[in-house]
């Protein structure tokens, strides 16, 4: 019995020792797991990524350092102070406070020396070495504020500077415009020489004057409406010659072309001489002077009376009676010439004709124009290329819409069109009494309140609702003042050198001059004598 008791006690002790052992093992395992997890956390701590090479190059290009990017950077504080101080130096000089401007400049140099030395040694500035410079600059900037060099004052002064610069620029532009206008109005010596020599040739050569007796042979052509009739009103012999010559060269049937030229009495003999001396591939050329038109008198033509008015002439030449408010381009004395206004009297000038193509003297024709005469104008009087691709070519840019007459009759957004290459149906013109419409508006603009000057504004009024748009390629504008796409020029039928930079002037646009000059015969004896280049 005792032996059994001893055995049972031994078994209990074994069970206790086993439980302790397993408990200790569990504790060790837990400790091991905790240690491992802590080591893992240490390993997966995020690291700051290094900047890529392109970022480094970018930072170097901007001259930005890590120290400068630091929000507590004394280098950046110094740089900001320098920038502000430089603005105050300008204002101090304008305020005649030269002593203060000198003090600011001296302190700017001191701060710049500090920054330069830090950059040279490639170590950031410390607070201790920059403390004095920052404090001294801060005192000067505070003093500037006490002198009312604050931000609002700076803004006001800068605005004043900008306004002054704008006024200077406006003055320079106005002077440039005036000089450009003067250059455009000046008659080159070569053109003057050409007129004088041709006039001398006309009156000195009896055989030359006998040639027009052959007029009877071309009399029938001048009235034959089956032919192509074109007209030019000009006092520029060479320019008119280029128009006729370029038309003749590009025409498929030059013998079917009749040019009607109208000039003034001063240039009549020279114009007659030139077109009698030269043959333009069989093109018929008629020269007239407007002084011979009996109907052209002040009682019938309102604009003639206005042009003869002393006040109007003073307005064109002096520009003093409206305080110089009118741009100089509207004061061009060419508007005093009746040649500029004859376009509104084409049916009176050519009473036997039914259709005419009107050309300005500053154009070049580079394609056959015969197709213009077969275009259906759909009952309209004027065939023209519209120019309203941009807003500044609409009616409201040419007319005074504050006037009730203009406001009541015309759409301000109506599309403008160009004079310089126009097809006129003279039958429809006479039927609609278009010249009468022109007279109506011209008489109401005696005081120049409906429009300023020129012939386009009254043209827009006169042919309002009577204009048929033509394909834009018929008339290319702008060769006398702007850049044109070469492809557009190549496809154009008529190239217009409108603007001040005429191709026969020194101020002509060089890249466009060859388009005009190739129709000038520089081998002609008189052209050579007058030194044309």
Domain boundary among 126, 149, 172: 149
Provide the domain limits for residue 514: 189-530
Residue 54 is assigned to a structural domain of this protein = no
- Residues (pLDDT < 70) of the chain are 1-72, 148-158, 170-187, 210-216, 308-336, 390-392
Q: What is the pLDDT of residue 284?
A: 95
**CATH code of the domain covering residue 245:** 3.90.550.10
Residue 37 is assigned to a structural domain of this protein = no
Tokens found for residue 382: 């004027």
In contact, 345 and 301? CB cutoff 8 Å: yes
* 111 and 217, same domain (yes or no): no
Query: Quick count: other Cβ atoms within 10 Å of Cβ 458?
Result: 22
Tokens found for residue 109: 């140099």
Spell 259-270 as b/e; 16+ CB within 10 A means b: bbbbbbeebbbb
User: Where does 280-403 have alpha helices with state H?
Assistant: 302-307, 310-317, 346-349
* 145 and 198, same domain (yes or no): no
Domain boundary among 149, 171, 201: 149
Radius of gyration of the chain (CA): 44
Dist. CA 245–CA 254, nearest whole Å: 10
Q: What is the pLDDT of residue 51?
A: 45
Tokens found for residue 395: 């009616």
In contact, 322 and 334? CB cutoff 8 Å: no
Task: State the Cα angle at 279 between 278 and 280, rounded to 5°.
Answer: 120
DSSP 227-272: SEEEEEE-S-HHHHHHHHHHHHHH-S-GGGEEEEEEE-HHHHHHHH
* 306 and 193, same domain (yes or no): yes
Tokens found for residue 71: 């929000």
* 284 and 423, same domain (yes or no): yes
Residues in a beta bridge with 229: 258
* 72 and 201, same domain (yes or no): no
* 277 and 414, same domain (yes or no): yes
Dist. CA 183–CA 392, nearest whole Å: 26
Residue 172 is assigned to a structural domain of this protein = no
Q: What is the pLDDT of residue 54?
A: 42
Phi, psi of 447 (to 5 degrees): -90, 10
In contact, 381 and 467? CB cutoff 8 Å: yes
* 104 and 242, same domain (yes or no): no
pTM of structure = 0.66
Dist. CA 398–CA 391, nearest whole Å: 11
* 308 and 453, same domain (yes or no): yes
* 381 and 281, same domain (yes or no): yes
Residue 80 is assigned to a structural domain of this protein = yes
* 233 and 364, same domain (yes or no): yes
* 73 and 131, same domain (yes or no): yes
Residue 158 is assigned to a structural domain of this protein = no
Tokens found for residue 170: 């406006």
Tokens found for residue 115: 């920054």
**Packing angle of the helix pair 98-121, 74-94 (nearest 10 deg):** 160
Residue 10 is assigned to a structural domain of this protein = no
Residue 343 is assigned to a structural domain of this protein = yes
For 465-505, what is the HEC assignment?
CCEEECCHHHEECCCCCCCCCHHHHHHCCEEECCCCCCCCC
Count helices and strands (H / E) in the chain. 22, 10
For residue 39, what is the enclosing H or E element?
helix 2-43
Q: What is the pLDDT of residue 62?
A: 42
Tokens found for residue 324: 């110089």
Q: What is the pLDDT of residues 456-474, one digit of tens each?
A: 999 999 999 999 999 999 9
Residues in a beta bridge with 288: 262
Q: What sign results for the dihedral spanned by CA atoms 342, 345, 349, 352?
A: positive
How many domains is the chain partitioned into structurally?
2
How deeply is 240 buried, as exposed, middle or buried, from its count of CB atoms within 10 A (0-12, 13-18, 19+)? Answer: buried
Contacts with 317 (C-beta within 8 Å, 6 or more apart), sequence order:
331, 333
* 238 and 108, same domain (yes or no): no
Contacts with 316 (C-beta within 8 Å, 6 or more apart), sequence order:
331, 332, 333, 335, 336, 453
Contacts with 509 (C-beta within 8 Å, 6 or more apart), sequence order:
479, 480, 481, 501, 503
Tell me the C-alpha to C-alpha distance, in Å, between residue 115 and each of 82, 127, 135, 234, 448. Answer: 11, 13, 15, 72, 67
Residue 258 is assigned to a structural domain of this protein = yes
Dist. CA 113–CA 111, nearest whole Å: 5
């Amino acid at each position: 019995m005792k032996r059994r008791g001893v055995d049972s006690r031994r078994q209990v002790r074994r069970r206790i020792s086993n439980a302790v052992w397993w408990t200790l093992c569990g504790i060790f395992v837990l400790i091991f797991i905790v240690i491992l997890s802590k080591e893992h956390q240490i390993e997966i701590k995020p690291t700051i990524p290094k900047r890529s090479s392109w970022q480094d190059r970018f930072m170097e290009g901007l001259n930005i350092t890590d120290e400068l990017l630091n929000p507590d950077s004394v280098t950046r504080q110094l740089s900001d102070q320098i920038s502000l101080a430089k603005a105050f130096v300008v204002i101090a000089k304008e305020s005649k406070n030269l002593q203060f401007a000198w003090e600011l400049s001296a302190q700017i140099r001191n701060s710049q020396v500090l920054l330069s030395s830090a950059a040279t040694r490639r170590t950031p500035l410390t607070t201790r070495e920059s403390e004095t410079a920052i404090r001294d600059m801060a005192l000067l900037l505070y003093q500037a504020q006490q002198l009312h060099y604050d931000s609002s004052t700076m803004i006001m002064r800068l605005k004043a500077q900008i306004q002054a610069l704008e006024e200077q620029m406006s003055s320079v532009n106005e002077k440039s415009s005036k000089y450009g206008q003067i250059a455009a109005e000046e008659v080159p010596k070569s053109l003057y020489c050409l007129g004088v020599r041709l006039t001398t040739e006309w009156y000195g050569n009896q055989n030359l004057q006998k040639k027009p007796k052959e007029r009877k042979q071309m009399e029938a052509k001048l009235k034959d409406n089956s032919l192509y009739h074109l007209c030019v009103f000009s006092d520029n012999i060479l320019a008119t010659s280029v128009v006729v010559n370029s038309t003749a060269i590009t025409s498929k049937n030059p013998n079917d072309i009749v040019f009607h030229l109208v000039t003034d009495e001063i240039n009549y003999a020279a114009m007659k001489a030139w077109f009698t001396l030269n043959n333009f591939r069989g093109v018929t050329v008629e020269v007239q002077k407007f002084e011979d038109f009996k109907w052209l008198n002040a009682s019938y033509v309102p604009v003639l009376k206005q042009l003869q008015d002393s006040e109007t002439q003073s307005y064109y030449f002096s520009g003093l009676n409206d305080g110089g408010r009118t741009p100089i381009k509207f004061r061009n004395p060419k508007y005093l010439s009746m040649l500029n206004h004859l376009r509104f009297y084409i049916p009176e000038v050519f009473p036997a004709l039914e259709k005419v193509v009107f050309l300005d003297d500053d154009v070049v024709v580079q394609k056959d124009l015969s197709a213009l005469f077969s275009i259906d104008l759909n009952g309209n009087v004027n065939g023209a290329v519209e120019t309203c691709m941009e807003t500044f070519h609409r009616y409201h840019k040419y007319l005074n819409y504050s006037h009730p007459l203009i406001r009541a009759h015309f759409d301000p957004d109506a599309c403008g069109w160009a004079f310089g290459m126009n097809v006129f149906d003279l039958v429809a013109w006479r039927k609609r009494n278009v010249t009468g419409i022109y007279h109506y508006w011209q008489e109401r603009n005696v005081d120049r309140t409906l429009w300023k000057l020129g012939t386009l504004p009254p043209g827009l009024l006169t042919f309002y609702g009577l204009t048929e748009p033509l394909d834009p390629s018929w008339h290319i504008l702008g060769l006398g003042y702007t850049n044109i796409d070469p492809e557009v020029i190549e496809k154009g039928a008529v190239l217009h050198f409108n603007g001040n930079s005429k191709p026969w002037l020194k101020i002509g646009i060089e890249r466009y001059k060859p388009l005009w000059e190739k129709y000038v015969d520089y081998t002609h004896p008189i052209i050579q004598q007058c030194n044309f280049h």
